Amino acid sequence: MALQPRFWKCLSVCRNLECGLASLATISTPAIQHDVATKENEAVAPEFTNRNPRNLELLGVARKERGWATVWPSREFWHR
Protein backbone atom coordinates (compact mmCIF):
# COMPACT_ATOMS: atom_id res chain seq x y z
CA MET A 1 0.00 0.00 0.00
CA ALA A 2 2.97 2.28 0.39
CA LEU A 3 3.52 2.25 -3.36
CA GLN A 4 0.19 3.83 -4.16
CA PRO A 5 1.09 7.39 -3.05
CA ARG A 6 4.38 7.17 -4.95
CA PHE A 7 2.59 5.91 -8.06
CA TRP A 8 0.08 8.76 -8.01
CA LYS A 9 2.86 11.28 -7.38
CA CYS A 10 4.83 9.92 -10.35
CA LEU A 11 1.70 9.89 -12.46
CA SER A 12 0.97 13.55 -11.70
CA VAL A 13 4.58 14.45 -12.58
CA CYS A 14 4.26 12.63 -15.92
CA ARG A 15 1.05 14.48 -16.67
CA ASN A 16 2.63 17.82 -15.87
CA LEU A 17 5.69 17.13 -17.99
CA GLU A 18 3.68 15.71 -20.89
CA CYS A 19 6.12 12.85 -21.16
CA GLY A 20 4.36 11.29 -24.12
CA LEU A 21 1.85 9.03 -22.45
CA ALA A 22 -1.08 9.47 -24.78
CA SER A 23 -3.47 7.52 -22.58
CA LEU A 24 -2.93 9.99 -19.74
CA ALA A 25 -3.40 13.13 -21.79
CA THR A 26 -6.49 15.07 -20.80
CA ILE A 27 -6.08 18.00 -23.18
CA SER A 28 -8.02 17.71 -26.39
CA THR A 29 -7.46 19.84 -29.44
CA PRO A 30 -10.51 20.96 -31.41
CA ALA A 31 -10.85 19.72 -34.95
CA ILE A 32 -10.05 22.24 -37.65
CA GLN A 33 -13.24 23.57 -39.19
CA HIS A 34 -13.01 24.69 -42.76
CA ASP A 35 -15.07 27.66 -43.87
CA VAL A 36 -17.87 26.53 -46.16
CA ALA A 37 -19.82 28.89 -48.38
CA THR A 38 -23.34 28.54 -46.99
CA LYS A 39 -24.90 31.51 -48.75
CA GLU A 40 -26.29 29.20 -51.41
CA ASN A 41 -28.10 27.16 -48.74
CA GLU A 42 -29.51 30.22 -46.98
CA ALA A 43 -31.46 31.52 -49.98
CA VAL A 44 -35.20 31.66 -49.29
CA ALA A 45 -37.69 30.93 -52.05
CA PRO A 46 -39.60 34.09 -53.09
CA GLU A 47 -42.87 32.13 -53.44
CA PHE A 48 -44.09 29.77 -50.76
CA THR A 49 -46.89 27.28 -51.29
CA ASN A 50 -48.63 26.27 -48.09
CA ARG A 51 -49.68 22.64 -48.28
CA ASN A 52 -51.44 22.68 -44.92
CA PRO A 53 -54.19 25.33 -44.75
CA ARG A 54 -55.50 23.80 -41.51
CA ASN A 55 -52.31 24.81 -39.75
CA LEU A 56 -52.73 28.48 -40.67
CA GLU A 57 -56.35 28.34 -39.58
CA LEU A 58 -55.41 26.95 -36.16
CA LEU A 59 -52.75 29.61 -35.75
CA GLY A 60 -55.33 32.28 -36.49
CA VAL A 61 -53.37 33.55 -39.47
CA ALA A 62 -55.71 32.58 -42.29
CA ARG A 63 -59.42 31.89 -42.65
CA LYS A 64 -61.27 30.08 -45.38
CA GLU A 65 -62.31 32.25 -48.29
CA ARG A 66 -65.85 33.61 -48.07
CA GLY A 67 -68.49 32.71 -50.63
CA TRP A 68 -70.41 30.03 -48.79
CA ALA A 69 -73.07 32.41 -47.44
CA THR A 70 -75.98 30.33 -48.78
CA VAL A 71 -74.75 27.06 -47.31
CA TRP A 72 -75.90 25.94 -43.90
CA PRO A 73 -74.10 25.37 -41.53
CA SER A 74 -71.56 28.15 -41.87
CA ARG A 75 -68.38 27.02 -43.64
CA GLU A 76 -65.92 29.71 -42.64
CA PHE A 77 -63.39 27.11 -41.56
CA TRP A 78 -61.81 24.19 -43.38
CA HIS A 79 -62.51 21.71 -40.57
CA ARG A 80 -64.72 21.99 -37.56
Beta strands in the chain, from DSSP E residues, in sequence order: none
Which pLDDT band, with edges at 50, 70 and 90, does 70 fall under? Answer: low
Exposed/middle/buried for residue 22 (C-beta within 10 Å: 0-12, 13-18, 19+): exposed
Is pTM, for the whole model, over 0.75? no
**Comparison of pLDDT for 18 and 72, the residue scoring more:** 72
Residue numbers of the domain that contains 75: 53-80
**What number of helices (H) and strands (E) belong to the chain?**
2, 0
- Nearest alpha carbon to residue 63 among 47, 79, 49, 48: 79
Backbone angles phi, psi at 22, to 5 degrees: -65, -30
pLDDT digits (tens, 9 = 90+) for 4-61: 666 666 555 555 545 554 555 566 676 777 666 777 777 888 887 878 877 777 777 7
Give the total number of structural domains in the chain.
1
**Residue 27 has what pLDDT?**
67
